[in-house]
A and B are shown apart, each in its own frame.
Chain A
Amino acid sequence: MTDSNSDNIDTDADHQLRVSKIQDGTVIDHVTGGQALTVLTILGIDGSGGEAVSIGMNVPSDRMGEKDIVKVEGRELSQEEVDVLSLVAPDATINIVREYDVIEKHRVERPTEVVGVFSCPNANCITTEREPVESRFSVLDDGVRCAYCGTLVREEFAAHIGGK
């Protein structure tokens, strides 16, 4: 397996990815092609925090055909933070980097519940009201379900990101 923090990321030599290595932080590799921006949205990373963020999208991958890769400088993401990514990028791998070396590597695991990430698409759900409550969805095999109104969301998760 190649080092996800290097320039040369499991691609053919002719199609090398030029994304600079990070000194400390998190590399999210093997993200489903086209989902990198959704990953950042889910993680609440929009650049306003000042962290350096690098993104590669639709990069050739031997294993996945095409993949995205996200590097976040200066922030070590916890397992809990990244597990929600499994809903949009089930094959993602998480690499924690310190002093340019990957010191920890793990896969995203499907959580049983996601809180405050998605907004309920049911306009009649109490979580869409001005109430002091965060959205909460239980995770099913084939989607997520609002813990308050029971609405099922089976696809297009990205369209519902933005829980309160």
Chain B
Amino acid sequence: MRHDHVLTAKQFSREAIEAVLDRAAEFADGTREPRHADALLGLLFFEPSTRTKMSFETAAKRLGGDTIDMGAVDSSSVTKGESLADTVRVIEGYADALVLRHPKQGSAKMASEFVSIPVINAGDGAGHHPTQTLLDLYTIQENAGLDDLSIGVMGDLKYGRTVHSLAHALTNFDTTQHFISPESLALPPEVRYDLDEAGTPVEEHTELEFVLPDLDVLYVTRIQRERFPDENEYRAVASEYGIDLGTLAEAKSDLSIMHPLPRVDEIDPAIDETPHATYFEQAHNGVPVRMALLDMLL
């Protein structure tokens, strides 16, 4: 990867993506030796995280390096009013690269302007989550291939940062992207603008039913309770955009179902035992993919 910072999936070329995925495959099958015994990864998570944070920690340690963790926001200097710009400049002196999750969009980009070590965006509000996208692409490549692909992305497309990053990255491939959501949670105009600029085939739907038979991959995202004014409206939408075994009757036999997790009610656990379920494999892929990324950046 030629970039010092990993800020959005928009910066990824097809060649850069393939280089990361190839290296991830080498780490996954044990044909590439870990190195970077002296590398220290700084973890700055201003929002909760399980998979992203733990898989970065695992990746750094499996490479032979280590992590230092800012810890919870309420036990850091952030509670004293320290700016993000100051925080990253301080931790720059402790670590070889920074992994940043922050509630504000553009935070990773701003942070990158204040430090000279790589900044990796681990989620900036409703903006981007580019390393999730790399592991998503790795999972798609393993299960369906990245070209001649019909993918459906369903759920909260407005605030879902994994959706935005994946949509950008897939413009590098021969992919038709179907977006399925209630109108209130449709793709933001900024993302749609970029997809149109890229000339990628895009279709937006409010129902899964008619597009499902065409899909090779169905990427489901969680609809968040806090996006709705009342519990009843949330429940109605959440059930409409959830899937169970009955939903899949019309799906291709090799449909791959993905989810960035955590899930709540949107995928019935009965699907877990079917060959369609790839979401736990997807979460596990976070380690080799982040190993590959760190290996290239450090």
Contact surface of A with B, Cβ cutoff 8 Å: 122, 124-133, 145-152
Contacts and interface: CB of A to CB of B under 8 A. Distances in A.
A94 to B, nearest CB: 32
B189 A152 contact: yes
The DSSP consensus for interface residues of chain A is loop
Contacts of A122: 105
B84 A131 contact: yes
Contacts of B190: 145, 150-152
Given A126-B110, A133-B113, A149 B83 contact: no
Contacts of B127: 149-150
Nearest to A122: B105
Contact of B85 (A125, A133, A147): A133
Interface residues of B, number: 19
B41 to A, nearest CB: 22
Interface in B119-137: 124-127
Contacts of B107: 126
A121 B63 CA distance: 42
B193 interface: yes
B193 A146 contact: no
Contacts of A124: 103-105, 125-126
A148 B83 contact: no
The DSSP consensus for interface residues of chain B is mixed
Nearest to A132: B85
Contacts of B36: none
B188 to A, nearest CB: 9
B83 A125 contact: no
Interface centre among A127, A129, A133, A149 (most CB of B within 10 A): A149
Interface of B: 83-85, 102-107, 109-110, 113, 124-127, 189-190, 193
A128 B190 CA distance: 18
7 contacts: A125-B105, A126-B107, A126-B109, A132-B83, A149-B125, A150-B105, A152-B190
B184 to A, nearest CB: 17
Contacts of A125: 104-106
Nearest to B126: A124
Contacts of B126: 124
Contacts of A128: 104
A11 B7 CA distance: 53
Contacts of A148: 105-106, 109-110
A149 B106 contact: yes
Contacts of A146: 106
Contacts of B189: 152
Contacts of A130: 83
Given A126-B106, A149-B125, 10 more contacts: A124-B103, A124-B126, A126-B84, A126-B104, A126-B105, A126-B110, A133-B113, A146-B106, A150-B190, A152-B193
Given A124-B125, A131-B110, A133-B110, A149 B105 contact: yes
Contacts of B105: 122, 124-126, 148-150
Contacts of B83: 129-132
A147 B109 contact: yes
A37 B189 CA distance: 30
Contacts of A127: 106, 110
Contacts of A150: 105-106, 127, 190
Contacts of A131: 83-85, 110
A126 B100 CA distance: 13
A117 B125 CA distance: 24
A128 B83 CA distance: 12
B134 to A, nearest CB: 20
A148 B190 CA distance: 12
